[in-house]
A and B are shown apart, each in its own frame.
Chain A
Amino acid sequence: MLTAIALLPLAGFLLNGLFATRLFPNPRGTRFVTLVGCGLPILAFLLTLDAFAELRAGGYVPLSETLYTWISIGGAPFAIEFWFDRLTAVMVLIVTGVGSLIHVYSVGYMKGDESYARYFAYLNLFLFFMLLLVLGRSLLVLFVGWEGVGLASYLLIGFWFADPEKAAAGKKAFIVNRIGDAGFLLGMFVLYTALGTLDMDRINAAFMASPGPAISATLVGILLFIGATGKSAQIPLYVWLPDAMAGPTPVSALIHAATMVTAGVYMVARMSGIYVHAEGASQLVAWVGVLTAFFAATIAIAQNDIKKVLAYSTVSQLGFMFLAAGVGAYGVAVFHLYTHAFFKACLFLGAGSVIHAMSGEQDIRKMGALAKRIPVTFWTFAIATAAIAGLPPLAGFFSKDEILWYAYASERGGSFWLVAIAALTALMTAFYMFRLLWLTFLGESRLDAHAAAHVHESPFSMTGVLVALAILSAIGGFLSIPHVLEPMLPLPGILASRSGAHLPIVVLSVALGLAGLLGAWWMFGGKAERAKAFGEKVAGVRRVLEGKYFVDELYDLVIGRPLLWISENVFLKIGDRALIDGTLNGLAALAQRTAAAMGRLQTGHLHFYALLALAGLLGALAWGWRHV
Chain B
Amino acid sequence: MDKTHALLYLALALFALGLCGVIIRRNLLVMLMSMELMLNGVNLSLVAFADRMGSAEGAVLVFLIFVVAAAEIAIAIPIVLLLAKSRRTLDADAFADLRG
Asked if A and B touch directly (CB within 8 angstroms), the answer is: yes
Residues of A within 8 A of B (CB): 598-607, 610-611, 614
- Is there a chain A Cβ closer than 8 Å to B98's Cβ? yes
- Excluding A602-B99, A607-B23, 8 further A-B contacts by CB distance (< 8 Å) are A599-B100, A604-B98, A606-B92, A606-B93, A606-B95, A607-B93, A610-B22, A614-B19
Q: Residue on B with the closest CB to A601?
A: B100
Contact indicator A611/B23 (Cβ below 8 Å): yes
Contact indicator A598/B92 (Cβ below 8 Å): no
Residues of B within 8 A of A (CB): 19, 22-23, 26, 31, 92-93, 95-100
Contact indicator A604/B23 (Cβ below 8 Å): no
Nearest CB on B from A613, distance (A): 9
Q: Which of B22, B26, B96 contacts A603 (CB 8 A)?
A: B96
Q: Which residues does chain A contribute within 8 Å of B98, judged by CB atoms?
A: 602, 604
What are some 27 contacts across the A-B interface (CB < 8 A)? Answer: A599-B100, A600-B100, A601-B100, A602-B98, A602-B99, A602-B100, A603-B96, A603-B99, A603-B100, A604-B95, A604-B96, A604-B97, A604-B99, A604-B100, A605-B92, A605-B96, A606-B31, A606-B92, A606-B93, A607-B22, A607-B26, A607-B92, A610-B19, A610-B22, A611-B23, A614-B19, A614-B23
Q: Which residues does chain A contribute within 8 Å of B92, judged by CB atoms?
A: 605-607
A599, A600, A610 pick with most chain B CB within 10 angstroms: A610
- Could you tell me the distance between the alpha carbons of A611 and B20 in the complex, rounded to whole angstroms? 10
Contact indicator A598/B22 (Cβ below 8 Å): no
- Could you tell me the distance between the alpha carbons of A614 and B23 in the complex, rounded to whole angstroms? 9
Nearest CB on B from A118, distance (A): 69
The 3 closest A-B CB pairs, nearest first, are A602-B100, A599-B100, A604-B96
- Could you tell me the distance between the alpha carbons of A611 and B23 in the complex, rounded to whole angstroms? 7
- Could you tell me the distance between the alpha carbons of A606 and B26 in the complex, rounded to whole angstroms? 9
Q: Which residues does chain A contribute within 8 Å of B96, judged by CB atoms?
A: 603-605
Q: Residue on A with the closest CB to B31?
A: A606
Nearest CB on A from B42, distance (A): 13
Nearest CB on B from A592, distance (A): 13
- Could you tell me the distance between the alpha carbons of A603 and B92 in the complex, rounded to whole angstroms? 12
Q: Which residues does chain B contribute within 8 Å of A605, judged by CB atoms?
A: 92-93, 96
Nearest CB on A from B90, distance (A): 12
Q: Which of B26, B95, B97, B100 contacts A598 (CB 8 A)?
A: B100
- Could you tell me the distance between the alpha carbons of A598 and B99 in the complex, rounded to whole angstroms? 11
A599, A606, A611 pick with most chain B CB within 10 angstroms: A606
- Could you tell me the distance between the alpha carbons of A605 and B26 in the complex, rounded to whole angstroms? 10
Q: Residue on B with the closest CB to A607?
A: B23
- Could you tell me the distance between the alpha carbons of A600 and B99 in the complex, rounded to whole angstroms? 7
Nearest CB on B from A614, distance (A): 7
Q: Residue on A with the closest CB to B26?
A: A607
Q: Which residues does chain B contribute within 8 Å of A603, judged by CB atoms?
A: 96, 99-100
Q: Which residues does chain B contribute within 8 Å of A598, judged by CB atoms?
A: 100
Q: Which residues does chain A contribute within 8 Å of B97, judged by CB atoms?
A: 604
- Could you tell me the distance between the alpha carbons of A609 and B85 in the complex, rounded to whole angstroms? 24
- Could you tell me the distance between the alpha carbons of A607 and B31 in the complex, rounded to whole angstroms? 10
- Could you tell me the distance between the alpha carbons of A509 and B24 in the complex, rounded to whole angstroms? 118
- Could you tell me the distance between the alpha carbons of A10 and B54 in the complex, rounded to whole angstroms? 97
Q: Which residues does chain B contribute within 8 Å of A602, judged by CB atoms?
A: 98-100
Q: Which residues does chain A contribute within 8 Å of B99, judged by CB atoms?
A: 602-604
Q: Which residues does chain A contribute within 8 Å of B19, judged by CB atoms?
A: 610, 614
Q: Residue on A with the closest CB to B25?
A: A607
Q: Which residues does chain A contribute within 8 Å of B22, judged by CB atoms?
A: 607, 610
Q: Residue on A with the closest CB to B98?
A: A604
Q: Which residues does chain A contribute within 8 Å of B93, judged by CB atoms?
A: 605-607
Nearest CB on B from A206, distance (A): 77
Q: Which residues does chain B contribute within 8 Å of A610, judged by CB atoms?
A: 19, 22-23
Q: Residue on A with the closest CB to B28?
A: A606
Nearest CB on A from B22, distance (A): 5
Nearest CB on A from B71, distance (A): 20
Nearest CB on A from B70, distance (A): 22
Q: Which residues does chain B contribute within 8 Å of A607, judged by CB atoms?
A: 22-23, 26, 92-93
- Could you tell me the distance between the alpha carbons of A610 and B22 in the complex, rounded to whole angstroms? 7
Nearest CB on A from B19, distance (A): 7
- Could you tell me the distance between the alpha carbons of A200 and B98 in the complex, rounded to whole angstroms? 80
- Could you tell me the distance between the alpha carbons of A607 and B28 in the complex, rounded to whole angstroms? 11
- Could you tell me the distance between the alpha carbons of A611 and B92 in the complex, rounded to whole angstroms? 14
Q: Which residues does chain B contribute within 8 Å of A614, judged by CB atoms?
A: 19, 23
Nearest CB on B from A540, distance (A): 79
Q: Which residues does chain A contribute within 8 Å of B100, judged by CB atoms?
A: 598-604
Q: Which residues does chain A contribute within 8 Å of B95, judged by CB atoms?
A: 604, 606
Q: Which residues does chain B contribute within 8 Å of A606, judged by CB atoms?
A: 31, 92-93, 95
